[in-house]
Every structure is written in structure tokens, then in C-alpha cells.
Amino acid sequence: MSRRCKAIPQNAFIYTGTHDNQTTRGWWESLPENSPSRLNLAVFCKRFLPQCGLPNADNVHQILIEIARISACERYIVPMQDVLGLDDDARMNIPGTALGNWQWRLLHRAESKILIDEVSSP
């Protein structure tokens, strides 16, 4: 997509998530079907990202990454869990809990080169 979303300043960072929130897929799956967030994202996709289709659990991570990519921001940050489209089983941290945090690890796989190429492409 050649046009850029100018609503976010160029000298800002945009990110799909941090270590303290749900993965993008986990967030989507936790929303009620009639959630305003689901409706707003669907309307946005229909208008600005028709090539992505309507958001669902399988593509919502790709949609939010694309929104970050087309923003006016020079830089965007995407947790690896979102790049891979993982659910909350891959969540890093739940604030206020003492156990079970920081357990998720990216395992070395044969697909690593493909993933690196995919993430590195414009």
C-alpha cells in the first residue's frame, strides 16, 4: 500500500504489544463477538486494507502489523509472538503475578531463515 496513515507522528514508535499485555491473537480471541474493537477494526480493514480481508484469529496479527507498517512512524516494534500469530500460551508476562512469567522461548527451527526474510521484507 503506497499511502501512509498520517494520524500518528513520524517521530513516534508504534507497536502491536509489549511483554506485559496479551498477544495480538490472544487479545482478539478474548474480545466478545460484538466488541467495538472488532467492529472498528473490521471497518478500518474494509476501507483501508481490503486486501487483508476481515479480521479473524488467523490474520489479526498480520493486520495490526500492516497498520503499523503503513503508519507514518519511521519505526515499529512487533513482539515475535505477534509475528508468529501465537495465542496467549506464548504470553511473556502477566503483571501482578509471581509465577509462570518469562517462560516462553523462540525455539531454533529450520523455518528461521524464512521467518527472518519475511520480517525483513518491506
d(Cα 47, Cα 69) in Å, to the nearest integer? 16
| Residue 51 is assigned to a structural domain of this protein | yes
Tally of domains in the chain:
1
Confidence class for position 105, pLDDT limits 50, 70, 90: confident
Structural domain containing residue 91 = 13-120
Residue 22 pLDDT greater than 50, yes or no: yes
How high does pLDDT run on average in the chain?
A: 86
| Residue 8 is assigned to a structural domain of this protein | no
| Residue 6 is assigned to a structural domain of this protein | no
| Residue 39 is assigned to a structural domain of this protein | yes
| Residue 34 is assigned to a structural domain of this protein | yes
* Whole-structure pTM value: 0.83
d(Cα 85, Cα 64) in Å, to the nearest integer? 11
Residues pairing with 26 in the sheet: none
| Residue 56 is assigned to a structural domain of this protein | yes
| Residue 3 is assigned to a structural domain of this protein | no
